[in-house]
Amino acid sequence: MSDSSKDDSFGHAVFAFVISPFLVALLLPLMALTTWQSAYVSSVLWSWFAVPSGLPAITTTQAALPFLLFAILTSGRIATAPKDERTWVQRSVAMATYLLCPWAILAVGWWLR
């Protein structure tokens, strides 16, 4: 066994047992937050626009189910993304936009109501 294959094996082991759990610990709360945001905004918009027309009200949990179902149905597809050439500032702005978009939609809904 050559030294480079030993180094590769060690790198894969470090990633699998050290870095991967850390990434999962960061990503799961972020996924839960974005799902909750979208579900909350959907339930509020539903109560503003659908309930007055006679449809029953929905809870945040009921509004989250379509988002979770969509995530489950589309998670089997593995896409190969090209190398991300954006700077950390551009990536940070993209993440902030992703996190703030539901609240902007809610603000527009509040204005239209």
| Tens-digit pLDDT profile for residues 97-112 | 988 999 999 999 999 9
pTM above 0.85, yes or no: no
CB 43 within 8 A of CB 58: yes
Name the stretches of the chain with pLDDT < 70.
1-8, 10-18, 76-81
pLDDT for position 98 = 85
pLDDT digits 0-9 by tens, 44-54: 999 999 999 99
The domain limits of the chain are 3-73+86-112
Residues 6+ apart with CB under 8 A from 109: 41, 44, 45, 48, 49
